[in-house]
Structure 1
């Protein structure tokens, strides 16, 4: 019975030490990012640092992205916005150090600082928002609608402004 109690205590302490990391406990390793564009309704593609597409969608949208890409490596994303009649544009979404990571000095200890938070990506955070400005519509890219009318459907003023083409 005593050996079982010691085994339980050692297992509980080991688990507590290995899972303790201040940023892992207080922060997160995945963050929701609000993706928007001007004008809205643009299609977007998010690729990670390795060039792998991790999400496609249209604006506005909220996407949850991991902040880490490996031991002591923060992730970086490129968001490319596309909308018909506008020039494509891209923006970069970079991670930054989470302030909670430094809480390991007081709470998580070396295990949290050197193992748990770097492995889980919790030592990094992502911005809450990412936006792309597609600018003004491209010249010559006006709405491509064609309406056919019979001459009887035109007003007398519109008929008078017609030019005959031979």
Structure 2
């Protein structure tokens, strides 16, 4: 009786290990990503590999994104930051291979390595954050009134008579 229970337990564990993926068990297929910008308060749009908008928000914020895009295909995102008075900036957010995926060699077996983890996207991971630097504020559009600075030697002689001393 005890040998039967032990055999059933061992077989159950063996089945679980061969029918599951290590990265699917230990890792995730969706990751929280902190989205930051300099300056704060910028709006952002995240598009996936297909160009579909998957999230919009305002910095700072956190969004949960899928790490996989299909069978054996990691997801890649484009994050575009916008704030009035600043030039828009775009950054890429790409998935990379999860270290837990290689745990299939020891624990998950071929089914986990070739089927479960690639299908669920758990074989990939995403970075913890994405940030965009919008740089310095952009000057207002030209209103047609330009300022040109010249030294006194560059001013024509007839115009020098119209100059007014300010100091």
Quick check: 1:73 aligned with 2:73? yes
Tell me how far apart the structure 2 counterparts of residues 110 and 18 of structure 1 sit (CA, whole Å).
7
Where does structure 1 lack aligned partners over 5 or more consecutive residues? 1-8, 142-166
Name the residue aligned to 2:130: 130
Number of matched pairs: 132
Instruction: Report if the CA contact (8 A) 1:18-1:116 is conserved.
Output: no
Q: Secondary structure at the match of 1:111?
A: helix
How far apart are residue 13 of structure 1 and its match?
7.5
- The list of structure 1 runs, each at least 4 consecutive aligned residues, that deviate by more than 2 angstroms after superposition, is 12-19
Name the residue aligned to 1:89: 89
Instruction: Report if the CA contact (8 A) 1:17-1:111 is conserved.
Output: no
Residues 1-150 of structure 1: pairs in structure 2 closer than 5 A: 16=16, 19-140=19-140
Which of 1 and 2 has greater Rg?
A: 2
Q: Secondary structure at the match of 2:37?
A: strand
